[in-house]
Chains A and B, each alone.
Chain A
Amino acid sequence: MNTVLRYSPPAVVLHWLIALLIFVTFPLGVYMHELPLSPDKLKLYSYHKWIGITILMLASLRVMWRVTHTPPPLPDDMVRWQRLASQAVHGLLYVLILAIPLSGWLMSSAKGFQTVWFGVLPLPDLIGKDKALGDLLAEVHEILNFTLLALVILHVGAAFKHHFFERQPFMQRMGLGKEER
């Protein structure tokens, strides 16, 4: 059996926290968007924004950690195209987990709704109220999100493929369990 190479515990914890929050707030975003205006809709929008800003904070930590720590190497026998694909998808995922909440924050500002994180911490409006820009940022937010969805499917699919079909202990790389050797 191969030695299990793992991401460091802070990277693992941040990975799963961010993943969990995305799995909550992505469907929430799709759902709330279609609702007629109601107090519940306003609440859901706030929750979505609070979760999004939380992701932005965690993603910033995650990227800083990633930049300053070398991830475990990929298996030696992995073919070149897969290495390249892995690097590209991971790079894009890092970009998107920052860019998506940022685009949402900017969209909120452009639409004239300041973001107040958990109703406590007001984030500055980096851009002023501008309806056309708000509509454009809404499109950007949506496109980035569906790009993320496609990449997450690839990311999870690749992890499953390596782990279950090629029988490499691939998922332990990001495992939450105790280190096994």
Chain B
Amino acid sequence: MKLILNTLTLFAVLASPVASAVEYRTVLPAQSAIGFDYSQMGVSIKGGFKRFVAQLVFDPVKPEGARAQIDIDLASIDAGSSEADEESAGRLWFNRSVYPRAQFVSSQIRPLGNNRYEMRGTLTLKGRSRELVVPVTFSQGKTAATFDGSFILKRLDFGIGEGMWADVATVANEVQVTFRIVATGK
């Protein structure tokens, strides 16, 4: 009986497209990106962060054991214009001299099927930590795998844009964050 089960397991593993069971753990920064999109006076403005360190361990066969951590250098922001870049460093926005980095640490990754996952974790920004639930799509390429995700961040949850900037009619509270992390198995 045990032999049959083992054979079946072996067969299942061999038949699965991820039979090689690569564990993705080396992030390729040049192919990875973190961007955001926010609305200012009803006009969509695109931005992003150029420097960040992403670490991850992901085995498609054992997604429960996956971990991810992203550290973002807030000074690398592109907020849509040089004026906005400068403004974002200030006390009312990121207060970057006190909080130069943002950090996300995953706590749980749950498969939703069809190469989709739900990643839970904690985002710490401007000294405030909030739980996030982020949908992630996994796609396996020949040499690397891509993790794409997108979620809505409410900037006021983290005190991003205080005082006069708390007016969400001018700069919307909702910021669409998108990321793409590309990693190889070596």
Contacts and interface: CB of A to CB of B under 8 A. Distances in A.
Contacts of A43: 41, 170
For this complex, into which size category does the number of interface residues on chain A fall? 10 to 19
B164 A46 contact: no
Interface in B7-38: none
Contact of B170 (A39, A111, A113, A114): A39
A16 B97 CA distance: 52
Contacts of B141: none
A42 interface: yes
A39 B87 contact: no
A68 interface: no
B171 A112 contact: no
Contact of A42 (B41, B44, B46, B82): B41
Nearest to B86: A37
Contacts of B164: 38-39
Given A45-B41, A46-B43, A112-B80, 10 more contacts: A37-B83, A38-B164, A42-B41, A43-B41, A111-B81, A113-B40, A113-B43, A113-B80, A115-B43, A119-B41
Interface of A: 37-39, 42-43, 45-46, 111-116, 119, 131
Interface of B: 40-46, 80-84, 87, 164-165, 167, 170-171
